[in-house]
């Protein structure tokens, strides 16, 4: 089965500067994105969802704009084509609205279920920040 790139945008009523720490840090991510997130001395992030642990490395970041986590390979296929999640803040120039764009590249192929999952996740973020 091939990997699928899922992309969704969610409007969030908060500034990029306010939102970025929730995307960029283990403590921020654990408040809304995963059940828990830890980082070890080798800068490997451990994401926990429903009791399962997924290890990732932060491969890129742009202050107040985006962060990308690449998951450590679990199979030979992952070695050449790793799963990743990118969280990016975009501003609509006309309205100045801030949008959180989530890109999830993985072998999860139920787009509708994935959208529901991320809608709930972003809802948690909105409740957290009051946006």
**In 3-state terms, what secondary structure has residue 2?**
coil
Residue 43, phi-psi category: left (phi > 0), alpha (psi -120 to 50), beta (remainder): left
State the CATH number of the domain containing residue 69: 3.30.530.20
Overall domain count for the chain: 1
Range of the domain at 44: 4-129
Each residue's pLDDT, cut to its tens digit, for the chain (131 residues) gives 689 999 999 999 999 999 999 999 999 999 999 999 999 999 999 999 999 999 999 999 999 999 999 999 988 878 889 999 999 999 998 999 999 999 999 988 899 999 999 999 999 999 999 86
* DSSP letter, residue 3: -
């Amino acid at each position: 089965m091939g990997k699928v790139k899922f992309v969704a945008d969610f409007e969030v009523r908060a500034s990029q500067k306010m939102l970025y720490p929730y995307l960029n840090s283990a403590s921020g991510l654990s408040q809304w994105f995963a059940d828990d997130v830890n980082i070890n001395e080798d800068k490997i992030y451990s994401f926990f969802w429903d009791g399962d642990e997924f290890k990732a490395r932060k491969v890129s970041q742009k202050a107040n704009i985006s962060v990308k986590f690449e998951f450590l390979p679990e199979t030979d296929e992952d070695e050449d084509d790793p799963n990743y999640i990118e969280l990016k803040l975009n501003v609509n120039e006309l309205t100045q609205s801030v949008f959180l764009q989530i890109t999830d590249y993985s072998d999860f192929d139920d787009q509708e279920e994935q959208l529901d999952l991320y809608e709930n996740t972003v809802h948690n973020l909105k409740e957290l920040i009051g946006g």
